[in-house]
Amino acid sequence: MGMIMKCLLMVTVARLLAKIAMSVHHKLRIARGLAPLSGPPGVWLLGNMPAYIKNRDRIYHFLEDLLKQYGGRMKMPWHLFFDGAIYITDPKDVQHILSTNFNNYVKPQGFLDAFQEIFENSFFAVNHHPQAPDAGAGWRLQRKVAAKVFTTANFRTFTEQVFARHAEETLVTARAEAIKASAREGQSQSKDGSFCFDMQEISARYTLNSIFDVAFGLPLSEIEGTDNFAEHMSFVNKHCAQRLFVKQYYKLLRWVMPSERELQRCTREVQAVADTILLRRLQESEEKINTRSDLLSLFIRKARELAPEGVKNSGEECKPDVASLLGPKTLRSIILTFVFAGRDTTAECLTYSFYAIARHPGVQKRIVQELESTKINTGPACTTFTFDEVKKLKYLEAVVYEAVRLYPALPFNVKNAVKDDYLPDGTFVPAGVDVVYSPWFMGRNGALWGDDPLEFRPQRWLEMSKRPSAYEFPAFQAGPRVCLGMNMAVLE
């Protein structure tokens, strides 16, 4: 028995050493490919992790400063849990990785693993390249169905039946809570009826209630056991992000990490809420489904249209990809992806928009003027705006785009090179390297935005003879993976 244990231990150690050797060889090969590029020096085995940790509270500004220092393109050295990266900001380079050579640049496996609990097997976490297990068929199918869901007709429904109602309900609730808080503190109400509240908290509440309603077709408040739904979502999202940037060792130590156990618990709670609605919806007749306009029902309807006639209510006889799309687990992952992606990104945009408006009284005044001139009937009986009226609010739209320019929800985005490649100017991109582009840096680049790139000036969007391309302003991504919910987010 002792000899067997020794042999097993030797084999295990040998495999571990071989894996480490292969990993180091891979990292060094990428490092050789990036040698001609300039970038910040790293610490042996630790790369730039010490600098990241030191600047964790100002990470976007830290990376922005580095990009300025190295001319808008730089390399990042490898470390124990990272293979190295190229940072790009030239629109031509961005177009190359997001469109021209789209199949060669995919979501990094580290990103997919870190956010597995959120995205599961939805199209957000499925890669599209020919080397993928299904050669990208799953991504193409899910994306095709999702594109048919995000139509102008559905945006009209979301705007008039969901966003307007939840905006009013959220403000009414916020006002009531503010009055109660003032009463507890012995403060009198303001004479003009104004009140103070935390805009970040209000924005998060509004976007969660709105996107949940859009996704599932009923208010979150009507579902039992959802008192801590927002907290569970926040923990899952935050911890998955920490896996990517801070706790990159989680795969080795997850079995002794309390945060990993809490992550699994919160994930189960979120999925249970979705399953309750999903299973109920899948049991509804086709006629009933056709009367609904929520994302889940629209997705089920479009998915069934792809199934062969006669098996629309069962995935058993469908083609494998369609059957998978109709499966409850896949549907759940797709809809929860929309909820996770739509909640935080839109809430951040709202928060920063109000932050910027509060700092610029002139902008606030012009918004009010536009609202009053657009809404003919501004009496208390008619305070919400129709879809057509919202589309006329060009200055307010410019305010939103200006907020997104300066404060993008995803300041840095990353792809991974499948094969060796070259950027348009001939710069070598070794296979396996992460290629990071920065909407944050590009939105503050004076070469594109003029002499006042850091100034919040919505008027610039109305003065443009031509809007910047998606590769010059990639806050919503670009190319085949452009954000499907972009227009819905702006409307919301």
- CATH value at residue 441: 3.30.43.20
In a domain, 143, yes or no: no
Comparing 22-36, 214-228, 273-287, the range with the smallest average pLDDT is: 22-36
pLDDT at 76: 92
Within 10 A of 377 (CB to CB), how many other CB atoms are there? 7
In a domain, 66, yes or no: yes
Instruction: Check pLDDT > 60 for residue 239.
Output: yes
| More confident site: 29 or 186 | 29
Within 10 A of 161 (CB to CB), how many other CB atoms are there? 14
What is the pTM for the complete model shown? 0.86
Instruction: Check pLDDT > 70 for residue 320.
Output: no
Separation CA 426–CA 271 (nearest Å): 46
Listed in sequence order, the residues at least 6 apart from 318 whose beta carbon sits closer than 8 Å to its beta carbon are 307, 308, 311, 326
Instruction: Check pLDDT > 60 for residue 457.
Output: yes
Question: Domain containing 466: what range?
Answer: 26-108+402-491
In a domain, 242, yes or no: no
Cα 433–Cα 242–Cα 70 angle in degrees, nearest 5: 45
Question: How much is the mean pLDDT over the chain?
Answer: 85
In a domain, 40, yes or no: yes
Taking a C-beta distance cutoff of 8 angstroms, is the pair 67, 438 a contact?
A: yes
In a domain, 412, yes or no: yes
The string of pLDDT tens digits covering residues 57-71 is 888 999 999 999 999
Within 10 A of 183 (CB to CB), how many other CB atoms are there? 11
Alpha-carbon distances of 485 from 98, 304, 326, rounded to whole Å: 18, 22, 22
Query: Per DSSP, which regions of 42-176 are E strands?
Result: 74-76, 85-88, 105-106
Separation CA 397–CA 131 (nearest Å): 40
The string of pLDDT tens digits covering residues 175-227 is 888 777 776 766 666 666 666 778 888 899 999 999 999 999 999 988 888 88
Instruction: Check pLDDT > 90 for residue 413.
Output: yes
User: Across the strands, what pairs with 434?
Assistant: 85, 416
- Ordered DSSP codes for 172-213: HHHHHHHHHHHHHTTPPPPTT------HHHHHHHHHHHHHHH
pLDDT at 267: 93
**Which residues line the annotated binding site for heme?**
483
In a domain, 410, yes or no: yes
Q: In this structure, are strands 413-417 and 105-106 parallel, antiparallel, or unpaired?
A: antiparallel
**Which residues line the annotated binding site?**
483
Number of structural domains, the chain?
1
In a domain, 451, yes or no: yes
In a domain, 103, yes or no: yes
Position 483 confidence tier, pLDDT thresholds 50, 70, 90: confident
Query: With pLDDT > 70 as the criterion, what percentage of the chain qualifies?
Result: 90
